[in-house]
Amino acid sequence: MIKVHHLNNSRSQRILWLLEELGLPYEIVSYKRDAVTNLAPPELKAIHPLGKSPVITDGDLVVAESGAIVEYLVAQYGKGSLVPPKGAPAQAVPYHHWLHFAEGSAMLPFLLALYLSRLNDGAAPLMPRVMSEIMNHLSYMEASLGDKPYFLGDEISPVDIQLSFVVEAAESGGAIAAFPNLAAYAARIHGRPAYQAAIAKGGPYKLGR
């Protein structure tokens, strides 16, 4: 049985969503952030040395990092669903680009903005540059999505699972109001039955809500 070591208000929520989209059985092992520091509890270090979520266990196998978990689950259990067909580089290249763009590029300035916000006036010299990068990434996503239902076309893919956290970060900070395609996309993914089932099982989720 796949176990999702699930931290509240974290990236592990999208792993639950992927499992629901794939129709796979799984067990949730829940952890709560520290009420003062907002950090993950030390118990997660017993599962993986970094002590972060998401992390899954599948038998004796431990898989950490969102992208690695997504790729593992789709390859091991997806039976070819949700991913581009093999031997189709025109589809495979955008697939891999967006899959890694989410954490490799897009989330960094959001995290910087979060940490800088705690410095108050000390953040003033850096914040304009960070906000510029956030808008740059969101503008790129807005134009690339266009009027497509999902980032790769008419059907949902693991790309959308990964990018959902970026879109929800933009929602949470109010930046998404300037991007109508992304705003409509957020409503679309939040309306999916699998997404709603993941929320029901994973518990309250503040990002983008």
Bridge partners of 5?
A: 29, 55
Residue 7 domain-assigned (yes or no):
yes
Query: Percent of the chain at pLDDT above 90?
Result: 80
Same domain for 71 and 94, yes or no, is: no
**pLDDT at 123 exceeding the cut of 90:** no
> What is the CATH classification number for the domain harbouring 185?
1.20.1050.10
Same domain for 101 and 182, yes or no, is: yes
**Closest residue by Cα to residue 53 from 24, 16, 82, 20:** 16
Residue 207 domain-assigned (yes or no):
no
Residue 209 domain-assigned (yes or no):
no
Same domain for 138 and 164, yes or no, is: yes
Residue 131 domain-assigned (yes or no):
yes
Q: Going by C-beta distance under 8 Å and a sequence separation of 6 or more, which residues neighbour residue 174?
A: none
Same domain for 68 and 139, yes or no, is: no
Task: Please tell me the predicted confidence (pLDDT) of residue 197.
Answer: 98
Model confidence band, residue 37 (pLDDT cutoffs 50, 70, 90): confident
Return the structure tokens found at 187: 């409503």
> What is the CATH classification number for the domain harbouring 14?
3.40.30.10
Same domain for 73 and 106, yes or no, is: no
- Whether the full predicted model's pTM is greater than 0.85, yes or no, is yes
**pLDDT at 190 exceeding the cut of 50:** yes
Same domain for 47 and 138, yes or no, is: no
How many other CB atoms are there within 10 angstroms of residue 1's CB atom? 9
Q: Residue 139 is part of which domain span?
A: 89-192
Model confidence band, residue 121 (pLDDT cutoffs 50, 70, 90): confident
Task: Please tell me the predicted confidence (pLDDT) of residue 209.
Answer: 38
How many other CB atoms are there within 10 angstroms of residue 18's CB atom? 28
Average pLDDT for 6-27: 96
Task: Please tell me the predicted confidence (pLDDT) of residue 208.
Answer: 44
**Closest residue by Cα to residue 2 from 92, 78, 82, 97:** 78
Residue 184 domain-assigned (yes or no):
yes
Same domain for 93 and 72, yes or no, is: no
Report the mean per-residue pLDDT for the chain. 93
Bridge partners of 92?
A: none
Same domain for 71 and 114, yes or no, is: no
Residue 208 domain-assigned (yes or no):
no
Higher confidence at residue 56 or residue 82? 56
H/E run at residue 29: strand 26-31
Return the structure tokens found at 135: 């808008």
Task: Please tell me the predicted confidence (pLDDT) of residue 207.
Answer: 65
**Closest residue by Cα to residue 54 from 97, 105, 96, 17:** 17
Same domain for 141 and 71, yes or no, is: no
Considering its fold, how many domains does the chain have in total? 2
Same domain for 118 and 75, yes or no, is: no
Residue 59 domain-assigned (yes or no):
yes
How far from 77 is each of 2, 39, 175, CA to CA, in Å? Answer: 11, 31, 36
For 126-159, write each residue's pLDDT tens digit: 999 999 999 999 999 999 999 999 999 999 999 9
Same domain for 95 and 187, yes or no, is: yes
Same domain for 45 and 18, yes or no, is: yes
H/E run at residue 37: none
